[in-house]
Structure 1
């Protein structure tokens, strides 16, 4: 499916719907009980226990040494060859927006269906964008974008196969926002390969706005120049340094969220759902009456993710506590 055109102007498009919009949920279901339980995102519902911030992280601008320390810890956590292979940003979304502006006009293949902002950003950058179902459909592309594990179906793409699918001199973009708690390959950057890693989803701290691109140093420098100075806040640097260095917490979180995902699968099956896929942080399922279930959940103050292009499917994030699990169970029964 053709998404954008290559005349320097992106096709006009409606705003892309995202999870987490509880304002829209309240408008749709004004009589639902409070507090709402937001299951519409893939954010870890059990956040990392941050230590207290030093007051200086708020009082002063982050220094180059502060940022360099974060990049060293991120390189070790993500398996990058060196801190020079790491660009830190205020969330991966800004990296998704910035990359297309640094690349000459290209034919871009986005393996989908997937996170819609990738195709939209490349189209806004004036590139010719096509949604393809797999790597075989990307044969003529100079840029190939894949999300692995994919949102919303959890599909995994091998990074070596992705790099082979790109012509010499081209670019492969691998968004691994959901890989931290999975058993899937955690890819390392190399020539022609950019890897995007999300901090907020894994650590349940999406509001801090922190993300990373792993790439060859020359591209890292261009990304950092495009983002400008002080792109990452002092509190985000402090949080990233603490959390990314805590390997034990990450292992425990992977095990705990795996148990939660299995529990959610059992509840979905009992409700007549068919699991399409997902990760340890979300599950996507098909239902015979998905619109009706979405309405019943909304009336009960539970917000899940629906997909206009796939009205038979719903995506469920993980409930954060016993009360939320019980509310979800009552509706699914």
Structure 2
């Protein structure tokens, strides 16, 4: 079980394969981002100072710097939460990104899985155990691409409970209409964010946690010294700028069109069921004999993400990253050919 939780899409990728398995945008880095990262390399003799990055991210989200914790990728925040908070019982809403559960189990926290029902994977707050003092879910959720309503998630908050919402893909939704990152009124709310997806910074490792100052202080107790490098902090400042936020929205709008193109093509593949409706940079589909089809696609030059390592899914589920229409069209032909051989 634990090994499956630690499986991620990068393990599907190999030389010669078209990568539809990793949800990271691969466009060239804009100069306004590349320049400060490059300039920061002259400052590597000094220990990292996250002051400017906290201030920039706080300003972006209408928060204060003491409500921001910088992390080496959003995934590191899950480990800090697991070890920094005294959690008696965690409820993890699945299918979702598996690192939160892996971190909780590593910390010895009892975990109860809340499995959402296919194919829409809609969240029902009543399904979450009342005695859970930590609830974890993604929005939009990886791998389902489902966007839950903010008020539905808010119904999970209560005094004495921490509510951790993974918004690593929130910036893939134009305008971020269901984001809770600006909400100061929900007790125990913690929001993780990532800068690695839209800006192609997975190798730099930069993310952050947003929460009330007292929660940030508790989670910070489990943080390593200087968890975020100077180049990553420079990227955080640049990505929090108004220029970056406007660019993110334009990218999200183009992404929505590319996703609609992919979903339309998937609907024409016999027996292909699309989860959702999808709202992010990836689409989850179910096809009969999915394991064979995934392996056949790989033999034909296509890497897609297997679904059976996500709790609540099986081998017939595949996650497909949204790419440009030409790439999607070529993939759809390959998929239709393999499905026709089932």
| TM bucket normalised to smaller | 0.7 to 0.9
Shift of 1:303: 0.6
Shift of 1:326: 5.4
2:285 counterpart of 1:285: yes
Shift of 1:329: 3.8
Return closer, same or farther for 1:145/1:76 CA change in 2, 3 Å cut-off.
same
Indicate the SS of the match to 2:70.
strand
Contact 1:274–1:286, Cα closer than 8 Å, also in 2: yes
Q: Which runs of 5+ in 2 are unaligned?
A: 116-123, 337-342
Candidates 76, 80, 92, aligned match of 1:98: 80
Shift of 1:15: 4.3
In the comparison of the two structures, how many residue pairs are matched? 309
Indicate the SS of the match to 1:319.
coil
2:220 counterpart of 1:231: no
Return closer, same or farther for 1:55/1:127 CA change in 2, 3 Å cut-off.
closer
In the other structure, the counterpart of 2:275 is 276
Indicate the SS of the match to 2:100.
helix
Pairwise CA RMSD: 2.3
Contact 2:262–2:325, Cα closer than 8 Å, also in 1: no
Deviation string, structure 1 residues 73-103 (Cα, Å, up to 9, x no partner): 21233x2421111111101111111101122
**Distance in 2 separating the partners of 1:254 and 1:88:** 24
Return closer, same or farther for 1:282/1:129 CA change in 2, 3 Å cut-off.
same
Contact 1:80–1:86, Cα closer than 8 Å, also in 2: no
Indicate the SS of the match to 1:304.
strand
In the other structure, the counterpart of 1:21 is 11
Indicate the SS of the match to 1:206.
coil
**Distance in 2 separating the partners of 1:329 and 1:112:** 27
**Distance in 1 separating the partners of 2:156 and 2:41:** 47
Contact 2:17–2:303, Cα closer than 8 Å, also in 1: yes
Q: Which runs of 5+ in 1 are unaligned?
A: 1-11, 27-33
Shift of 1:158: 4.3
2:319 counterpart of 1:315: yes
Shift of 1:135: 2.0
Return closer, same or farther for 1:299/1:141 CA change in 2, 3 Å cut-off.
same
2:296 counterpart of 1:305: no
Deviation string, structure 1 residues 264-322 (Cα, Å, up to 9, x no partner): 11222222322112333101111133223212210122110112242221110123685
**Distance in 2 separating the partners of 1:227 and 1:174:** 19
Indicate the SS of the match to 1:51.
helix
Indicate the SS of the match to 1:208.
coil
2:61 counterpart of 1:61: no
In the other structure, the counterpart of 1:36 is 17
